[in-house]
Every structure is written in structure tokens, then in C-alpha cells.
Copies of this chain bind each other. A is one copy, B any other.
Amino acid sequence: MYNMDKLYEAVTERGHVCVGLDTAVDYIPQAERRKAASGAEAVWAFNQTLIDAVIDIAACFKVQIACYEELGLAGLEAYAKTLKHIRRRGGMVIADIKRGDIADTALRYARAHFDGDFEADFVTLSPYMGMDSIEPWLAFAESRGKGAFVLMRTSNRGMRDFQYQELRTENPPEQIRRLYDAVGDKLEELAVRCRGKYGYGAFGAVIGADPKSDAGREEITAIREKRRSLFFLIPGYGAQGGAAEDAALLLREGNGGVVNASRSILKAWTAGMNALARPEAEADNAFAAEAARRAVLDMRGAIRMAAEKRHS
């Protein structure tokens, strides 16, 4: 069974929230930072408590490797421990590594991130170099159920620079075809070769939910309509500006996507302390984990409600 099938089932059972463990040292309560031997140790202790607090209500976790690389070798040890802990607890983890390199190198990367110290259930990939940078990863879908999310239409400002480039086509001028459409076509071809039991391929796409306008809403609705074989990893929620209603536009029959939030979950504790009129310095990891749990529950409820409203 593909991990993408397991993710589909996790969404049904536990909701749509992908908890983004982009744990910056300064997100961690001061008292805990002081207690820890190093920044990397503080990150690992924080992650462990937080994972345990949300494991039953998160569809999956996404770990942004940059936050760990920033702390050097010790940071990557914390990264490896975090991944192991999620998987030991029965959770699934997306390694947010956005790799994209020639076929030989892609195979080495796949071994690095689908096996050994850094084993994850899914990775994120970048398509610029072409499909021969994506396909070597696919062998691990067949042999081990592994999955991937390939960047297609992201939610940052700069996505307009290249993803939005209009391609030359025989279509009438009002039918615009963008670079991300070309990526989507290739990803659908790929998905057909590794389709799981719920109709989604083992490899899906990253589609940002931050439309900011009606035209943007129409655009992402059309993407969901057109890309029926692609399960979506949806960034841009919360701190990045997207809302539950926008994320719901990228779901299909209440499934077909997980919605990532990082800062709004990891830093929920600061608002919690403010609400209690207590100084932030008094917070600890246990308090942060409780606040994170409430944030995940709120987010999960908001997305479920938006999805039901849309499909009713």
C-alpha cells in the first residue's frame, strides 16, 4: 500500500492538518532554551513534546530541513531524531527538502531520505530540471510505498516569476497555459503509473492556498477540478495568510489534500500566555504543546466545516 493511501485514510480519521515542524530556536519557550545544552537539543526536546501532544489529531507532519541545517551537524541529529520519533509513534512525515537534481544524484538523494538516518514517508521535490530528476524517486513508491509532493504552484510572492509564465500554445488566446500547467500535466502522467486505491497517485503536488482575490479562488478551484489524480500538499495557511475556506477549494469530496501550518501551531503558546496575562518567560514545552493541540483542533474544525459547507 502506498503511503499516499495511508495519508488519505489519515485525513478521514484525523483531519486535514499537516503540522509543520519548522522549529526555529526562537519559537521555543525561553526557560526551555536555557535548560537545554544547545539550540539543537532545545529543538529536539520541543519537537518531542509537541509531537506527542498532536499525534492523534494530525494527518501528518512536515519537517523543514532548513531549520535543522541552520544548526549544523547537531541540527541534523535533531532532524533525524524528530523523524524517527514521529514514525515510532505511528505518524507519517513529509521531509520538506525540495530536491531536484540529475538522475544519478536523485537516486542518491532518494536513498538518503527514504532510508537510513533521515528516512521519511514523503519528500518534497522541485521540478525545474525535468522529469528525469523526479522519476528515480518513483522506484521507492513501488518497493516501499514512499510518496512525494512536487512543487507545482506555490504560495509565495515570487511564484509569479516563473511558475506563472504563459506558454506558447495553439489554444485560443483566452485559454492561458502556464508553466505550472505543464508541470501538472507531467505529474498526472506520473500519477497514472502509481495510482493508489483512492484514485490518487503515490506522487502528488504542492499547491498553495492564498488566492487573495476572486480570480485566485477561481484559479485554484480549476486546478483541483483538473488534477484528479494528484493529492495536494497545501501550504500558505495561517501565518502565510490563507484561510480554511481557501484551503477547502483544494479538497475533493472532503479529502485529497493536507493543509500545512507551522508558526501558528508552534507559536500558539505565546497567545496562550497573553490570554492568561502571564509573562512569556514562564511558559514551558508542556504549555506550548497544549496550546499547539488547541491550535490544531481549531484549524482542523475550521477546515472540516469549510469542506462540508463546500460539498453539501
Residues of A within 8 A of B (CB): 22, 24, 64, 66-67, 69-73, 75-77, 80, 98-103, 105-106, 108-109, 111-113, 116-118, 126-133, 151, 154, 156-163, 165-169, 179, 182-183, 186
Contact = CB atoms under 8 A, between A and B. Distances in A.
Given A98-B100, A129-B159, 12 more contacts: A64-B105, A66-B108, A67-B105, A69-B108, A70-B112, A76-B76, A100-B126, A130-B163, A131-B158, A161-B186, A162-B183, A167-B167
Contact of A108 (B70, B130, B183): B70
Contact of A165 (B70, B133, B179): B179
A108 to B, nearest CB: 4
Q: Which A-B residue pairs are the 7 nearest by beta carbons? A: A130-B158, A72-B117, A132-B158, A130-B161, A69-B112, A66-B108, A166-B168
Contact of A182 (B103, B165, B182): B165
24 contacts: A64-B108, A66-B99, A66-B108, A69-B118, A70-B108, A72-B80, A72-B112, A72-B118, A75-B112, A126-B129, A127-B161, A128-B163, A129-B156, A130-B158, A130-B160, A130-B163, A131-B158, A161-B182, A162-B182, A165-B165, A165-B167, A165-B182, A168-B169, A179-B179
A154 B106 CA distance: 15
Contacts of A24: 108
Contacts of A167: 165-168
B73 A103 contact: no
A169 to B, nearest CB: 7
A22 B151 CA distance: 26
A105 B68 CA distance: 11
Given A156-B102, A158-B133, A162-B179, A69 B128 contact: no
Contacts of A77: 73
B112 A161 contact: no
Contact of A162 (B101, B109, B130, B166): B130
Contacts of A100: 98, 100, 126, 128
Contacts of A109: 66, 69-70
Given A70-B111, A70-B112, A100-B98, A131 B161 contact: yes
A162 to B, nearest CB: 6
Contacts of A162: 127-128, 130, 179, 182-183
A130 B159 contact: yes
